[in-house]
A and B are shown apart, each in its own frame.
Chain A
Amino acid sequence: DAGITQSPRHKVTETGTPVTLRCHQTENHRYMYWYRQDPGHGLRLIHYSYGVKDTDKGEVSDGYSVSRSKTEDFLLTLESATSSQTSVYFCAIRTHRGGENEQFFGPGTRLTVL
Chain B
Amino acid sequence: QQQVKQSPQSLIVQKGGISIINCAYENTAFDYFPWYQQFPGKGPALLIAIRPDVSEKKEGRFTISFNKSAKQFSLHIMDSQPGDSATYFCAASIRVNNDMRFGAGTRLTVKP
Establish whether residues B44 and A45, one from each chain, have CB atoms under 8 Å apart when the complex forms. no
Bound-state CA distance A56–B36 (Å) is 24
Establish whether residues B98 and A100, one from each chain, have CB atoms under 8 Å apart when the complex forms. no
A104 at interface by CB-CB < 8 Å: yes
Query: In the complex, which range does the number of interface residues on chain A fall in?
Result: 20 to 34
Q: Which of B4, B51, B100, B103 has the most CB of A within 10 A?
A: B100
A22 at interface by CB-CB < 8 Å: no
A39 to chain B, nearest CB (A): 8
Q: Which of B42, B44, B104 has the most CB of A within 10 A?
A: B44
Using A41-B104, A44-B102, A100-B49 as known contacts, say yes or no to A106 and B2 having CB atoms under 8 A apart: no
Bound-state CA distance A1–B46 (Å) is 11
Bound-state CA distance A51–B35 (Å) is 26
**Which residues on the A side are within 8 Å of B32 (C-beta)?**
100-101
Using A40-B104, A100-B49 as known contacts, say yes or no to A107 and B98 having CB atoms under 8 A apart: no
